[in-house]
Structure 1
Amino acid sequence: MAKNNHTRVTDFILMGFIDSPGLESLLFLVFLNFYLVTLLGNVGMIILIKLDVQLHTPMYFFLSHLSLLDACYTSVITPQILATLATGKTIISYGQCAAQFFFFTICAGTECFLLGVMAYDRYIAVSNPLLYTVAMNPKICWRLVVGAYVCGISGAILRTTCTFTLSFCDNNQIDFFFCDLPPLLKLACGDTTNTETIVFFSNFVILANALVILISYVLIIKAVLRMKSSGGRAKSFSTCASHLTAVALFFGTLCFMYVRIGSSKSPEEDKIVSVFYTVIIPMLNPLIYSLRNKDVKAAFKRVTGRFQVFRNV
């Protein structure tokens, strides 16, 4: 059988903003503001947790890593969007595309597992408060976080290897804002069976993790309802509601993007959802965990008060 005369792709063209002519300056300002707020919120949360001793608990230890992941994975995507809007350059090299895909997948995959760890932490805190400090000692907390990173990195290596060993021929126009899996699969000109099998397995892992979190919260709600103190119930519900909101936003958008691969959906829908989970959610998470959290507000007052004292000395 004769081989098809294909040209090997060495770079890609990101088509995400082609259908929005004249809006580049406005979109640049919007994305820049979102990015600055995201960095300020997440880096600020990390610094606050580091500086305030009363936030040196397992829950805030995990939250600091969630903030780190949010800051990192929006930084993998948003600067590329800003550069495209500022310069009009939509070309990204094959290597840059693979690197962007790899690091984004690490951050998103690790966050997926970290949210499961945080659900487990809340379950232990609510169901066994007397044994909480023993069950979630620093060594166990580090093991859980390292385990989340190992799972995220392993998944990223597998997905990136399977995706970028595919053949990309002739058409190199990615109808998206960045190098993500669904639009890359559409460009592949070879057999994608192995990659789609890996994608299916990854989707199963996402759904299984979401199911574990859901079961954890069913048990948490049952434990909270058994509490005799109304104050304790209110505090537990407030803390768990913040985490559950973050989980719903994260897994909801992931399921929309990845679990629905192969179904009929428009590129415009994918673009809107991609902006939401790469830009909006990382910006919202610090707000979700701080606005209704009295401990974070009190810590912020203590830390800022400390700096005011130093300035007055």
Structure 2
Amino acid sequence: MKILEPGQIYSRQKDINSVYGGSPQGGIVIPKESPYIFLFTRERRNLKDSAGFTDGDTFIYTGADQRGNVVMSGSNLAICDHQSNNRRILLFEVFSRDESKFLGECRYSKHVLTQHPDMQGNLRDTVDFHLKFIGKYDLEDSPPSCVALLRRAFSDELAKRIALDPDYLDQIEWRELEYVLQLTLEGIGFDSKITSAGKDGGKDIVLKCIFGEKQYTYFVEVKHWRSKKKVERSHLSNFLEVIIKEEVDGGLFLSSSGYSEQSISLLTEIERSTFRLGEKEKIFSLCKRYTKSRQGVMYPEGGIIDLLYEGTI
């Protein structure tokens, strides 16, 4: 059984290229012969090709292209899509022309727009990928489950259809919409996780992001009823209790069928400052933002908090 051990030095030619294929050069290597993406990073010199660690389990890797503005295509897009394409990311630190230290397996978390100097020292638009470490990687481990990959691809397709026609929401079940929203919020830059059905503790999606040196956490509650029932006051009060109890930074309540007049008119100042309300149009807007991010439109890291509350009550 072939195992890559984090911290061990490997020959790029002997241990990687000759076994798994791919180019012996370049920072992003995507072999046709095997389902991996090999990322190679080196110490910063005049060209900043990697930003390094932000905390214990996150690594920031700057996208390909050393000249001009980076575009979300080719190998850069492959990093974003590695899970849906059934590829796994393996990160190495370059020590010499042929030797690299294996840092670990990563998964794509998000990407943000930033600027780095090019080879001539001129600032250019680049994309920083936030990669979450998974741990020791066994090359004979099973890939992500077929169900997870199919669900992600299905959610991606549903998001695209909603972005074209918001009435497509009428054909989607409530749990499917939760997965769609989890994916769309991840796509605009949040670390986004869906909670277990029936045991969500009053929130359906948990969002996290880092702005400056602080980590922010937001809860998202989703109501999508075929009956077109409007959300009542009690649902909003319960959501406020969950946010306050768990001491998070805010929340977003989404209802595809809207809210009763009383639930909105009786909103307190505390509620208005703690969470926002979104309707069908907000869900449509998030799906549109997501499809644009897939096309290479990127948002500054601090801007995603504004995007979360954009177009809400």
**Per the shorter chain, which TM-score range?**
under 0.3
Which is strand-richer, 1 or 2? 2
Q: TM-score, normalised by structure 1?
A: 0.23
Q: TM-score, normalised by structure 2?
A: 0.23
